[in-house]
Every structure is written in C-alpha cells, then in structure tokens.
C-alpha cells in the first residue's frame, strides 16, 4: 500500500510575515493604551494632565522664582518641549522594561516573536507622546510661531530618539526578567538624567566641557535640535545645538551612532536571551 508523503505547509513570504507582525503590534499597542486609562474617571485626559501639571510646577519655580523665564519669551514653550520629550523617553523605557514580566502568561502559552511585547509597550508610550504633542502644537500656535519647511527634519529626529528608546527598552526588559533590581536602578537613572539634561535650564548655562559631554546623550542632541528647529525666532542659549558646541557639522553623527548602537546591542542581547525568557519570567 502506497504511503502518502507528509508535506509541511508552505512558508509565508517575508512581506506577509512583516505585515502580520505590524498588525499584532498595532492591536497590542492600541489595547495597552486603552487599558492604561480604563476605569479612570478622566480617562485619556490623564495622558495630557500629568506633563502639564509638571510643566506648571517647574515653570512656577524656575520660570518665576529663579527668573529663568526672563531669558527668553519662549522659555515656557522650551520647557514644555523638554518635559514632553522626557516623559516619552521615561514612559517608553519603563513600560518596555516591565512588559515581559507583565505578559508572563502570553510568553508561556503562545508561540510568537517575543520582540513584539517590548516593542508594543514603547509604541503605547508613543501614542501618549502623540497626544501630548497636540498640546505642544497649541502652545506653538499661541506663541505665534509660523511652521517652517525645516520642521520636516523633526521626523528623522524623532525616529532617532525612538531607535535609542527601543534599544534601551529591549536591554532593560531582558535584564528585568532575571534581576528585578533593574527597576530601582533605572528609576534612579531617570531622575539623574532629568536634571542632567537641559530640560529646565538653557544649554548655554553649562560649562563647555559639560556641554560637550551632555551632547553625547542622543536624548540631549534630539531635544536641542528640536528646540532649534521649532523655536527658530529665539536667540536665547536654549537654541545651542551639538554643531555649535563642537563647532563641527559632523559632530551630530556621534549621538546618532550611539542611538543606533544602542538599538543594535539591544536587539542582539534580546535575541540571545529570547529562547529562555518564558522559563525565567
């Protein structure tokens, strides 16, 4: 009697698999954003209220009491841009760090690329960042700043920041599975980074050697470049960019390389640990 040969189902083409992963990312990120504010009386308003409350407190203290607001008429907008960008960085990396442990049941029961989970967490924070950006746009309109063609450069700058964020989130999520103390260390690092970055104070207040060191952080480089693009009528020291600090146009390549290096290392480290994540979570 002839036996029927066993045949495996055909492997889906790469474009189909990528499209499937993107759909999963969209669904998970959207669901996470909705669940984040489910059961809350104010709901999505909290995504805007928290950075605005921080902005109001910092502006009252540093803008009026310490008179940093006298440096420029655009100091409030400069401060708000810094807070919104840092909130995105902080939320995305922290949510990415917790994502694997929070989705323990999915890791153990379903077979799918584990990379989807921390990536979806960062995209959830990106949705919140998009909502907060609408508030920034309202402040820009209030200040009478007219959009310029150079604003198109905001897209690659935000992509650079997201690459840096995703790389850190992948590294933190993998380490957090094995060592819960990572959460405490990262919380401390975020606090230090907030005050070490020129969010509250203008970049020109720093000595030249500290300014050069701060610009090695891709977050600082992106923040200052965005301020320089959006606040183009402003001549205050918060418009200093990395090319001004190093007096070289190629200096911007250094933090870009660091951001891409962080992403590459995060992907490499995550892939190395991926086969054991379900066992260790």
Would you state the structure tokens that stand for residue 231, as one six-digit string? 């606040």
Please answer whether residues 80 and 62 qualify as being in contact, where contact means their C-beta atoms are separated by less than 8 angstroms.
no
Q: By residue range, what is the domain housing residue 247? A: 27-280
Asked whether residue 273 is domain-assigned, the answer is: yes
In a domain, 211, yes or no: yes
Q: Where are the alpha helices (DSSP H) in the chain?
A: 14-36, 45-58, 75-102, 104-109, 116-142, 154-178, 182-196, 208-214, 218-230, 242-246, 253-273, 277-280
114 occurs within a structural domain = yes
pLDDT band at 239 (very low <50, low <70, confident <90, very high): confident
Confidence band of 6 (pLDDT split at 50, 70, 90): very low
pLDDT band at residue 1, thresholds of 50, 70 and 90?
very low
Residue 6 falls inside a structural domain: no
Cβ count near 126 (within 10 Å) = 18
Q: Among 24, 196, 183, 49, which Cα is nearest to 112's?
A: 24
**Per the domain annotation, does 9 fall within a domain?**
no
Place of tokens 């959006």: 230
- Judge whether 185 lies within some domain: yes
In a domain, 16, yes or no: no
For 130-163, what is each residue's pLDDT tens digit?
999 999 999 999 999 999 999 999 999 999 999 9
Number of domains in the chain: 1
Confidence of residue 41 (pLDDT cuts 50, 70, 90): low
- Asked if residue 113 belongs to a domain, the reply is yes
Mean pLDDT, range 208-217, rounded to an integer = 94
């Amino acid at each position: 009697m002839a036996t029927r040969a066993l045949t495996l189902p055909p492997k889906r083409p790469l474009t189909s698999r990528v499209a499937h992963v993107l759909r999963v990312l969209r669904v998970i990120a959207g669901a996470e954003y909705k669940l984040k504010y489910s059961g809350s009386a104010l709901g999505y308003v909290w995504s805007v209220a928290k950075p605005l409350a921080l902005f109001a407190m910092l502006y009252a203290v540093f803008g009026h009491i310490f008179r940093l607001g006298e440096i420029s008429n655009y100091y409030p907008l400069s401060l708000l841009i810094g807070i919104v960008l840092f909130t995105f960085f902080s939320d995305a990396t922290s949510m990415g760090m917790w994502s694997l442990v929070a989705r323990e049941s999915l890791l153990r029961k379903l077979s799918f690329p584990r990379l989807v989970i921390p990536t979806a967490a960062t995209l959830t924070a990106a949705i919140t960042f998009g909502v907060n950006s609408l508030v920034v746009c309202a402040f820009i309109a209030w200040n009478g700043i007219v959009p310029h063609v150079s604003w198109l450069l905001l897209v690659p700058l935000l992509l650079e920041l997201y690459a840096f964020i995703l790389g850190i989130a992948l590294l933190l999520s993998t380490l957090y599975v094995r060592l819960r103390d990572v959460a405490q260390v990262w919380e401390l690092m975020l606090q230090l980074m907030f005050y070490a970055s020129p969010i509250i104070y203008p970049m020109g207040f720093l000595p030249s050697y500290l300014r050069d060191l701060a610009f090695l952080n891709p977050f600082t480089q992106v923040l200052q470049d965005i301020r320089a693009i959006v606040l183009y009528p402003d001549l205050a020291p918060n418009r200093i960019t990395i090319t001004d600090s190093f007096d070289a146009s190629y200096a911007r390549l250094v933090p870009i390389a660091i951001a891409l290096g962080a992403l590459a290392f995060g992907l490499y480290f995550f892939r190395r640990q991926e086969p054991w994540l379900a066992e260790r979570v």
